[in-house]
A and B are shown apart, each in its own frame.
Chain A
Amino acid sequence: MAETAFRKIDIDIYDEDVLQDEELVDADPRDPVQVLNDAKQRQAAVRSALSRSDILGALNTVLENAPYGPNVEEAKTVTLQTLLTILNTTKAAEIPGVIKGLSQDNQDTLMKYLYKGMAMPGWGDISGSVLLGWHEKLTEVAGTGCIVRTMTDRRTV
């Protein structure tokens, strides 16, 4: 076995000019308070869309300009909750049609939320089987590239 312990040494602490995370991504220009208000308004809009069983409209509402970056944790939580109500109430047979109707941006954002949900088992209304069902259908439509973008994108949701 080759020596690998040296890989775990944090050499960055000796570097005055170290690259910070925030340098890698442009911050969300919106004000955190406004982002939170937006998220709450969307929650209401999604409820009314769901009562008309307009799933695609509801998904588009919640995924468009979703909150990202630091300082907007509460808005992210509200958005995740809103999204979960959509995911949990959609019938399995309708999922592929809905996903095909999403723009590529929104497909990428949806994938981010699916992974966020899977990373928080037992939180709120998260159901692993529902998330995996959506994940399977989304991967069939958007491909592995969509998963790769979820992993690389620093604009975390």
Chain B
Amino acid sequence: MPQVFNLSQTPVTAHAFSADNAQLATSFNSNDVQIFARQGAAWVPTEILSEHDKLITSIDWAPNSNRIVTSSQDRNAYVWQQTQDPSTGKLIWKPTLVLLRINRAATHVRWSPKEDKFAVASGARAIAICSFDPENNWWVSKLLKKPLRSTVLSVDWHPNNVLLASGSADMKARVFSAYIKEVDDKPAPTVWGSKLPFNTVCGEYASPSGGWVHAVSFSPSGDVLAFASHDSSISIVYPGGPTICTIRISSLPFVTLTWTAEDTVVAAGHDCQPVVFSGSEGGWQGVGSLDDSTSGKPAGPGSNSPVGRLNSAAFSTFRDADSRGHTSAKASSDAKLLTVHQNTITSIRPFETKGGRVTKVSTSGVDGNLVIWDTDSVNALAGRVGGLRV
């Protein structure tokens, strides 16, 4: 059974766990980061990190160096580090400035695997690759610009600490080299290329029907790239051919995805449930949903219809008014969605890994909930997201 935590009445824009999963950093559609600590079965708010002066868009928590990086619409990013307060002796989070040099909102941020760099996506058609400058005690950035033509919505690092994938509103997913001479050793050749000076474009892949690319992710080995776009599709790229497996889904678009094994991806978004896909270079298909929305809840009208949310309470109210002349608002009984999340899922992240497989993932949603799912309990999609075809 998924564990559900209601953290807030407002949307959860982003979430990140500490390495031991005992702490949680979230942002509730505001300028502040709220830190929670796990106490038994509950999450208890502990500290608030205030420095940004516009909405926080993304949070990432480095597992080994225990640093938090946040990005915001105020065009800034901060690296937060725990230091001892000289007067009270308590550990508090202190921000370090990052010189991003972008003139639009920062939209997404991720630490590199070695935690010596991080990438900030932005609306300035650029990705800032940041590394630490010990002389001045701040983070400096180098911008990836070409050939980005629009806002970058997401970034993801390759395990070799050099390659970076990006998804952008110009409807393309790209793979760049983010090699920084001062930080990185010369990378070994990968399937994406062998010569990798900064800003080398190793791949460019368009979404099948022209949707913004909301999410990108490298597989655990880094040899495969998955991206989800706003044309209700998910694409898996094998760079050799290149072979691109595209699955067009019959429900609303995904906005976030993560790999759980070399052959499995979990994606979630406007359809409010995490959906599992699996396959290999020969072909990919939808396996099922982690959300068992049929058990324990009354099956509402049209719960098995592929039309999905079209059969919502509002829809049936208008339909009844039209076809039967009913105007009474009796729809309150089925105003709840049948899924665990009651609104769009904003972010999905690996939560627990055992033997190289991600066994649990966490999702945060616009409904203010944080949910932890077992990736093994996949439920057949029945008719709900039926019609999945490669």
Task: Report if B167 contacts A (CB, 8 A).
Answer: no
Contact of A143 (CB < 8 Å), options: B149, B230, B387: B387
| Contact residues in A for B210 (Cβ distance below 8 Å) | 24-25, 152-155
Task: Report if A139 contacts B (CB, 8 A).
Answer: yes
Scoring B residues 236 to 277 as 1 if CB is less than 8 Å from chain A, else 0, what string do you get? Answer: 000000000000111111000000000000000000000000
- Contact A145 B250, CB 8 Å, known A23-B149, A24-B171, A104-B389: yes
Task: Report if B347 contacts A (CB, 8 A).
Answer: no
Task: Report if A149 contacts B (CB, 8 A).
Answer: yes
Q: Which stretch of B31-39, B45-53, B302-310 is in the interface?
A: B302-310
Question: How far, in angstroms, from A143 to B307 measured CA to CA in the complex?
Answer: 5
- Contact A152 B250, CB 8 Å, known A144-B309, A145-B232: no
Task: Report if B29 contacts A (CB, 8 A).
Answer: no
Question: How far, in angstroms, from A24 to B207 measured CA to CA in the complex?
Answer: 11
Task: Report if A118 contacts B (CB, 8 A).
Answer: no
Question: How far, in angstroms, from A151 to B231 measured CA to CA in the complex?
Answer: 8
Task: Report if A142 contacts B (CB, 8 A).
Answer: yes
Q: How many residues of A are counted as interface, with CB atoms below 8 angstroms from the partner's CB atoms?
A: 21
Task: Report if B209 contacts A (CB, 8 A).
Answer: yes
- Contact A143 B308, CB 8 Å, known A19-B170, A152-B231: yes
Question: How far, in angstroms, from A153 to B292 measured CA to CA in the complex?
Answer: 32
Scoring A residues 135 to 151 as 1 if CB is less than 8 Å from chain B, else 0, what string do you get? Answer: 00001111111101100
Q: Are A143 and B306 in contact (CB under 8 A)?
A: yes
Tell me the nearest residue of chain A to B211, going by C-beta. Answer: A152
Q: Are A139 and B310 in contact (CB under 8 A)?
A: yes
CB-CB contacts below 8 Å: B295-314 with A: 305-310
| Contact residues in A for B150 (Cβ distance below 8 Å) | 19
Q: Are B250 and A144 in contact (CB under 8 A)?
A: yes
Distance from B328 Cβ to chain A, minimum over Cβ atoms (Å): 25
Question: How far, in angstroms, from A139 to B306 measured CA to CA in the complex?
Answer: 8
| Contact residues in A for B308 (Cβ distance below 8 Å) | 143-144
Q: Are B252 and A145 in contact (CB under 8 A)?
A: yes
Scoring B residues 310 to 348 as 1 if CB is less than 8 Å from chain A, else 0, what string do you get? Answer: 100000000000000000000000000000000000000
CB-CB contacts below 8 Å: B208-231 with A: 209-212, 230-231
Q: Are A148 and B170 in contact (CB under 8 A)?
A: no
Question: How far, in angstroms, from A108 to B248 measured CA to CA in the complex?
Answer: 10
Q: Are A104 and B248 in contact (CB under 8 A)?
A: yes
Q: Are A19 and B253 in contact (CB under 8 A)?
A: no
Distance from B207 Cβ to chain A, minimum over Cβ atoms (Å): 8
- Contact A145 B249, CB 8 Å, known A23-B170, A152-B211, A152-B230: yes
- Contact A145 B248, CB 8 Å, known A24-B210, A152-B209: yes
CB-CB contacts below 8 Å: A107-157 with B: 108, 139-146, 148-149, 152-155
- Contact A140 B171, CB 8 Å, known A19-B149, A108-B209, A149-B231: no
| Contact residues in A for B171 (Cβ distance below 8 Å) | 24
| Contact residues in B for A143 (Cβ distance below 8 Å) | 249-251, 306-308, 385-387
| Contact residues in A for B387 (Cβ distance below 8 Å) | 141-143
Question: How far, in angstroms, from A149 to B387 measured CA to CA in the complex?
Answer: 15
Q: Which of B232, B308, B386 is the most central at the interface, judged by chain A CB atoms within 10 Å of its CB?
A: B232
Q: Which of A23, A24, A143, A148 is the most central at the interface, judged by chain B CB atoms within 10 Å of its CB?
A: A143
Question: How far, in angstroms, from A138 to B170 measured CA to CA in the complex?
Answer: 29
- Contact A149 B232, CB 8 Å, known A25-B210, A141-B387, A143-B250: yes
| Contact residues in A for B149 (Cβ distance below 8 Å) | 19, 23
Question: How far, in angstroms, from A142 to B306 measured CA to CA in the complex?
Answer: 8
List residues of chain A with CB under 8 Å of any chain B CB: 19, 23-26, 104, 108, 139-146, 148-149, 152-155
What are 20 sample pairs from A and B whose C-beta atoms fall under 8 A apart?
A19-B170, A23-B149, A24-B170, A24-B171, A24-B210, A104-B248, A104-B389, A140-B306, A142-B306, A143-B306, A143-B307, A143-B308, A143-B385, A144-B251, A144-B307, A145-B232, A145-B250, A152-B211, A153-B210, A155-B210
Known: A104-B248, A153-B231. 8 other contacts (CB 8 A): A19-B170, A139-B307, A145-B252, A146-B232, A148-B231, A149-B209, A149-B233, A149-B248
